[in-house]
Chain A
Amino acid sequence: DIQMTQSPSSLSASVGDRVTISCRASQGIRNDLGWYQQKPGKAPKRLIYGASSLESGVPSRFSGSGSGTEFTLTISSLQPEDFATYYCLQHNSYPRTFGQGTKVEIK
């Protein structure tokens, strides 16, 4: 199984901060990775697909990068509505696996 190691597990940040979340795959997954945002009591929402493509309707302050084993989700200027938990997901091989999540909290 491919292990997805996400870091940090949580972070505290202020509105306007630049935030970076990392995801490392235990083996190469090309660019078969998505990033998801989940708010309490809600379903996850896809933000990024193909490691770096922005989902339609998602603000441009979100961006993704990486390929192979190292991936990054960046929020260029954190907004109040961005406080949530973020997950990466690899869909390169079975079983599909998620990172353990990064909770972004208000500082």
Chain B
Amino acid sequence: KQEVTQIPAALSVPEGENLVLNCSFTDSAIYNLQWFRQDPGKGLTSLLLIQSSQREQTSGRLNASLDKSSGRSTLYIAASQPGDSATYLCAVRGSGGGADGLTFGKGTHLIIQP
């Protein structure tokens, strides 16, 4: 059964810093990996989707990488801003997941200090 772990569970950094969020998974037979952002009391907003054949995806200040063989993905946030404060979730989709193939991590709660 697929397991997804996100480290750290919480992170607080000053504005302007570059930072990396980590996501690891136990079963490398995946179809894709998706990073989400969740603001308090809100739904999940898709940030980046990486297919299993891809190594990375970029959107603005965000860059996500995928290393299937080592079961790891990172989300890099450049020049962090207070508006980046949120919980970041990664979700892995593969044959080791549930009926929908998905396994979610529990998230990293990020606070950017002004």
Asked if A pairs with B, the answer is no
Instruction: Please give the residue numbers on chain A whose beta carbons come within 8 Å of chain B beta carbons, in ascending order.
Output: none
